[in-house]
Amino acid sequence: MTESQGAYSPQPHSYSAPVNPEWPPPPPYEPPTATMPAPEPGPAPRRGRTRGPIGLLAAVAIVAAAVGGGTAYAFQELTGKDTVDSTGTTTTVVPSSKKGDVAAIAAAVSPSVVEIQAALGSGSSTGSGVIITGDGEIVTNNHVVSGATSVKVRTSDGKSYTAEIVGTDSSKDLALIKLRGASGLKAAALGNSSNVQVGDSVVAIGSPEGLTGTVTSGIVSALDRDVTVSTDENQGQNQGGDGQWPFQFGGREFNGDTGSSTTTYKAIQTDASLNPGNSGGALIDANGNIIGINSAMYSSSSQSSSSSDAGSIGLGFAIPVNTVKSDLAKLRAGSTS
């Protein structure tokens, strides 16, 4: 639906915003005609001159409201959801006076990030996910839930849910899961990764090493990095030490062998601290919008034997949120590629 169609073609819908307002009614007076009596002598009435611009402004205001409401209506019709879970433009989740404030961003977005526990035939996988609808749709990495026999999710308030895998896309390392019996959850605001610039401040939220709701911060250190990950089921769960997901970058392999079946995507690079368990979690901009899904991070292979090498060294990668949004329809349709 185009914006103009949203303004002029009424459609019945439960959405309460004035998405299809009619044009303003005519002015409450009749224009002069030849049959009307001549006006009384005196200064010419100024009513038409003052009301004309006001009427025009009112019309413009109503049409502007129609365009805004029509956009939301069109998105709801497209997705079939009562809650708009993504936007084409950046919104402000935190107050403008708190832009870039890590504490404010964490308070606003943490309720939209969950911990995921996936039971596998050979063990288990711990990761994170981002709530995108109030009834429990969650985006995460494919490698977090790939090959899972069951999936458990814990929200930031400690509630536990069973989830089912709706769709997966190994070529983008993305998956969509759905909580059973969930309602009233806080959906994250999906931003616009095309606006991201090197040097932008970012916040990462996830469950590294099972530490639910961990918040770290940093900057965007590079864009459009070609990151290669495995598409083999369970490839990353038993390799790289501590179950880290293996990936390739710059001709080198990190965290283990990626295997023979791989895929490459353009990633956002960040120095925000990421560790095993952050996979599938949120990378967030200064306004509180999700700009990426954390997916790969480097840790030294010797971390288990040398405490000086333990943990993140500031080299992490995230799948741009615009890639996520373009893949949602496919995931919702139940694709298992």
Q: What is the pLDDT of residue 28?
A: 56
Whether the pLDDT of residue 86 is over 50: the answer is no
User: What is the rounded distance in angstroms from the CA atom of residue 271 to the CA atom of residue 317?
Assistant: 9
Which residues lie closer than 8 Å to 238 by C-beta, 6 or more apart? Answer: 122, 123
Name which of 4-18, 57-71, 101-115, 163-177 the model is least confident about. Answer: 57-71
Confidence of residue 69 (pLDDT cuts 50, 70, 90): very low
Please report the pLDDT score of residue 88 as a whole number.
46
Which element (helix H / strand E) includes 118?
strand 113-120
Q: What is the pLDDT of residue 36?
A: 54
Percent of residues, the chain, with pLDDT higher than 90: 47
Instruction: Give the whole-angstrom CA distance, residue 74 versus residue 6.
Output: 7
In whole angstroms, what is the distance from residue 196 CA to residue 173 CA?
A: 21
Q: What is the mean pLDDT of residues 3-20?
A: 45
| pLDDT, tens only, 268-295 | 999 999 988 899 999 999 999 999 999 9
Q: What DSSP designation does 94 have?
A: S
Q: What are the pLDDT digits (tens) for 120-147?
A: 887 888 999 999 999 999 999 998 998 8
Which tokens in the block code for residue 72?
């939301």
Percent of the chain with pLDDT over 70: 60
- Taking only the tens place, the pLDDT of each residue in 184-198 is 999 999 999 999 999
Split at pLDDT 50, 70, 90, the class of 262 is confident
pLDDT, mean over the chain? 75
CA distances 122 to 96, 164, 207, Å, are 47, 19, 21
Question: Is residue 14 predicted with pLDDT exceeding 80?
Answer: no
Among 65-79, 188-202, 219-233, 250-264, top mean pLDDT goes to 188-202
Classify burial at 46, counting beta carbons within 10 Å of its beta carbon; exposed 0-12, middle 13-18, buried 19 or more: exposed
> How confident is residue 2, by pLDDT bands cut at 50, 70 and 90?
very low
Decide: 127 and 152 in contact? Cβ < 8 Å: no
pLDDT at 148: 92
How are beta strands 247-249 and 316-320 bridged, if at all? unpaired
User: Are residues 213 and 113 in contact, defined by beta-carbon separation less than 8 angstroms?
Assistant: yes
Q: Which residue has the tokens 């458990």?
A: 152
Per-residue confidence (pLDDT) for residue 213, from 0 to 100: 92
User: Residue 77 has what pLDDT?
Assistant: 36
Give tens-digit pLDDT for 208-218: 888 889 999 99
By the 8 A CB rule, do 153 and 175 touch? no
In which region does residue 277 sit, left (phi positive, over 0), alpha (psi from -120 to 50) or beta (all else)? left
Residues with a known catalytic role: 143, 173, 279
Give me the residues paired with residue 215 across strands. Answer: 205
- Structure confidence by residue, pLDDT tens digits, 40-61: 555 555 554 545 544 444 443 3
pTM above 0.75, yes or no: no
Helix (H) and strand (E) counts in the chain = 5, 14
Does residue 55 or residue 119 have the better pLDDT? 119
CA 244 to chain centre: 24
